[in-house]
Every structure is written in structure tokens, then in C-alpha cells.
Chains A and B, each alone.
Chain A
Amino acid sequence: MNSTFANFIKERRLGQDLTLRQLCQNTGYDVAYISRLENGLIDAPSDIEKLKALAKAYSIQLGSETWMEFSDLAATSRRSVPEDTYANPVVPRFLPVFYRKMRKDKLTSEDIKQLTSLLTGESAE
């Protein structure tokens, strides 16, 4: 799993066997902008339409699993929480608790592993 938005989109481009130049020529994107995104120097766009257009440039189908990962990493790169997660009523209650716990007790890597395991249903190995 890619840990950053920059890595994610770069890996996505490499997976399509495209160079930076080819991707920009195919899509009309400014190469300076895309190179800054891929090097993690700027955050993903916050405007949803711009994010969708960017997804299209990287051949990411809206609503797909890849789109979910893409938009989650985009939100993380902007240090924000994905808008759609607020549709779940538990989230606004859960997040403040999570943030307080994180600040007060300094989550260990073991805590994060267990939390991830709980959320994904996968073993915390």
C-alpha cells in the first residue's frame, strides 16, 4: 500500500508504463504541476472537480476501490478528513476521541497496528 498521495500517483503512472512527459502530453496537464505533485511538494487539490479530473488523468475510475484510496490519500496530503466519511454518524464522535488519545497518550506503533487490524479485519502481524 502506498503511504503518500505522491507515491500513489507516481506508482499509478509507472503501472501504466507512462513517463511524466507522456502522461502530461496525453492529458494536457502542466508538467511542472504534476512533477510537484509526484514529488510531494504540493498537496492534492481540495476542489473535488479538480481531484476527479486528476483521477481521470491517472485512469482512475470514479467510485472504484482505487478512487477511494486515491481520494483518501489526497485528503491526508491536505491534512484533512475525507468529506464522505462524515456520512457515517459515528465518525464525528469517534474522531475527537481519537485525536485526544493520540495527543495525550502518544500512540505507539503497536497501538496503530492493532487499530488498523481492527478496522481492516486483518491480522496485526
Chain B
Amino acid sequence: MNPPLYVPIISDEELSQIASAFLEKHSQSDLLPVHIEKICDREGVGLLIVPDLTSLKNTEAYIANNCEVIVMDQNVFETQVDRARFGIAHELSHRILHTAHLEQFPISDADSYEAFHSAVSVDNLAIIEDQAYSLAGHLLMPSNLLNAEIERLINEEAAGNELTDNIIQRIVRALAATFMVSADAMLRQIKKVNNLLHQAITDETRAILVPPYVRAPVIASIR
């Protein structure tokens, strides 16, 4: 029987620094949007696109073969590019953060995946998924670039006037388009890196930007 999975404790500040160093390594520190698919190529991580993965495996993406191949649903990859980018960044984050921790689980098929899940508590699984989610956010929306863009857009859109809901909605949409992420992912990252803008976002604006029918964040599993 495998020993329990050791889960690293990593602060959000540390995750931001890890993302920054990783982007610098791949000469993507000041490029927008971050070219996550190119980074995969440079890291030697293969992309395997599978038709109907979501219905076959109940997940849109996962990382396999000792974190060397990211498997992704074809429909998501082709028609929901922002979502696909976040999914790839999420799986890449598992590789960056958890490869060493997952070495004891040679996950390659359904049986080994079940063994992995039974060895990891729900809480620990949630922690490593949260870490991958946060690092993916920092990879696609680096705080320095995001804050610079927020400042530029506020100056451009508000020009010293009050930040109304309409202006904020335009700003968030423009940010999401620039960074090629969903409005939902952008709102979560703004909460982390720019408290001023975050405080100005009302529940009403949030509901307009991320309607209730929008699906939850990318469901991705380590396999």
C-alpha cells in the first residue's frame, strides 16, 4: 500500500514568486497574453487532445505519464480557448509543484488512478488542486503585468472620475481579453493582486460579468 501523499504547504506569495521565476525561465515575463502552449512545448510537455474526454473520463483535462503529457478534451481545446489555456496552466502547475510528491503514484490507468485517490484524503486533494489553481492564475495573470494593466485602464476609462459599475465591467472585460482568461478567472486574480479594484467591484457587477449559468472553474484531475 502506498504511504499517504505528502502535501506541501505553499503560500500564495510563494506561488506568485514561483510563477514569476518560471515565466522568466521561458522568456515570457513581459509578454501578453502568456503563451502557455509554447511553454508546454519548451518544457517538453506533450499535449494529447482527446475527443469526448469529458464524457469518457468525467474531466476536461489531466496530467499523466509522470507529468509529461497533458491530456485535454478536444471540444474544450478547440472551442473554449480561454478555458483550455487555464486548464493547461493548471496541469502544468501540478508538474511544477507536485511532480516529486506524486512520484510514489505511478498513475497511468484507471486502476492506478483509483489507488491514488484512495491514498489521498479529500482535504489533501483539495489543497493540491487549490495550489494548482492559484499557480495557474499567477502564470496567466502575473501580478506585475496585471497591476500595470489595471492602472492603465483605470486612467484611460475613468480619467480621475468615479469608478462606476459600467466602467469596472469594461475594465474587467478588457483585462480578461488581454490576458486571454475568463472573466471569472480574472475576478479571482484581481481579488488577490489589486485590493483597490476588488473593493470597487459590486455583487451586481460580478453577477453581470459571471452569470450564474457559467460553469465552475476547469475541472481537472491529476492522473
Q: Which residues of A contact B (CB under 8 A)?
A: 10, 14, 19-21, 31-32, 35-36, 38-39, 41
Contacts and interface: CB of A to CB of B under 8 A. Distances in A.
B99 to A, nearest CB: 19
B41 A39 contact: no
A38 B50 contact: no
A41 B71 CA distance: 13
A35 B38 CA distance: 14
A10 B51 CA distance: 21
Given A20-B37, A20-B47, A31-B74, 8 more contacts: A20-B49, A21-B37, A31-B78, A32-B50, A32-B74, A35-B46, A39-B46, A39-B48
A35 B51 contact: no
Contacts of A31: 49, 74, 77-78
A36 B69 CA distance: 11
A35 B78 contact: no
Interface in B31-52: 35, 37-38, 41, 46-51
Contacts, number: 30
Main secondary structure of the interface of B (DSSP, over half): mixed
Given A31-B77, A39-B69, A19 B37 contact: yes
B169 to A, nearest CB: 30
A36 B48 contact: yes
Contacts of B77: 21, 31
Nearest to B77: A31
Contacts of A41: 48
- Counting chain A CB atoms within 10 Å of each CB, the highest count among B48, B50, B51 belongs to B48
